[in-house]
Amino acid sequence: MLTIITAARLVTPVEWIEAPVVVIEDGHIASLASRNATEIPEGRRLDFQDLILAPGFIDIHIHGGAGRDAMEADESSLAQIECQLAKHGVTAYLPTTVTASQDKILKALEGLGKLIAMANRNPGRAVPLGIHLEGPFISHEKRGVHPPANLLAPSPQALDRFWQASAGNIRMMTIAPELPGAVETIRYARELGVHSSLGHSNATYQEAQSGISAGADHATHTFNAMRPLDHRDPGILGAVLENDELTADIIADGIHVHPSVLKLFLRAKGADRAILITDAISATDMPDGIYSLGGLEVRVSNGRCEYQGKLAGSVLTLDRAIRNVMAFAGWQLQQAIKLATLNPARRLGISDQRGLLAPGRRADLVVLTPEGQVAHTIIGGEIPN
């Protein structure tokens, strides 16, 4: 049966369409046009008067939510995380690991790899697209809360062990390019189709450039856990902000990065190269208290997540990040939505499937108020219960 969705407006997100009619068949968009330019076919009708349709959001860096941690890597934990994500408009994501013992990382990667293989069997839940390996190939000086004893020198051999454990499901890897072996590991990651993201790094400008030349194409939570920008020593931040080919993500919660710095970041990377992430942990959508981040006990109070006095992830949601971009930087809804839809889809090489509303793409949509509040999420043409 066809499903026909109508609303006040639709953002693709590269253009607005007034009074849209979206026809869905077999979980994909069959056609999309303005009501004035098409006849509405017979089928199940979903009418969202006064609301806006947009692509489902994609979070490429998230550790957990709803009291569960991605490193648990079991069906129960991912089910709760994915249902929580769907409530906030997220239809696809990269479950993200943290630095731990090699045995623990390998076990988590194995569990996540198996669950990803079965992901499309779970209607009404955000879909894991692959794994983001955050650590252990990171700098001691900029490790944040990652346990120092478990940091590992990068090498193609070490990456291959993780890759094999995940059954080839690692899609992104955060790495400090200044570490011995990092350049070779970035090159090998590129052969595997893994996106190398510069982060948790004390790299100089030249060391960062070497990582980019080797194949790194992204940057992890820009400004956080990075060598500070200096006018005579631009460091990794100078390389990230100036490079027009490199995409970069940011935690727009007003805690990790000051709103004025967020505005500068958006001016530097622009509407095509900036990506919003949450770096959310298990405490997201939960009351204040003590929560796990890959086994670390993180104290959460008034929106701050801390471990031994250091920031340890966030309780940000991606819909809130979009609204914060609108509030902090004065961006319009259409511009802000692109940072959580088309841009991450392009970075992952899946914009022919997700991140853009067009015929042939998956019917993953979010229904928004004009202010950017989530009213409904549609995954594969269905609204979760």
CA-to-CA separations, 266 to 28, 200, 221, 276, 331, in angstroms, rounded: 32, 21, 13, 11, 10
**Binning pLDDT at 50, 70 and 90, where does residue 38 land?**
confident
pLDDT, residue 1, reads 84
pLDDT of residue 40: 87
74 is catalytic: no
d(CA 216, CA 196): 5
Would you state the structure tokens that stand for residue 49, as one six-digit string? 């008067």
Interval 132-148 mean pLDDT: 97
Residue 346's nearest CA partner among 265, 221, 246, 262 is 246
Q: For residue range 182-191, what is the model confidence (pLDDT) as tens digits?
A: 999 999 999 9
Q: What CA dihedral angle connects 14, 20, 22 and 23, to 10 degrees? A: -140
Where are the extended beta strands (E) located within 176-245?
195-198, 218-219
Lowest mean pLDDT among 65-74, 110-119, 145-154: 110-119
In percent, the amount of the chain with pLDDT more than 90 equals 95
Task: Determine the length of the chain.
Answer: 385
pLDDT, tens digit (0-9, with 9 covering 90-100), for 289-337: 999 999 999 999 999 999 999 999 999 999 999 999 999 999 999 999 9
For the chain, domains (ranges, CATH) are 3-53+364-378 (2.30.40.10), 57-348 (3.20.20.140)
Among candidate residues 279, 288, 319, 352, the one labeled active-site is 279
Q: Average pLDDT, stretch 173-200?
A: 98
Residue labelled with tokens 């409530």:
87
Give CA–CA dist 185/162, Å, rounded: 12
pTM for this predicted structure = 0.97
The owner of tokens 């809360």 is 145
Cβ neighbours of residue 186 closer than 8 Å, sequence gap 6 or more: 175, 177, 196, 211, 214, 215, 216
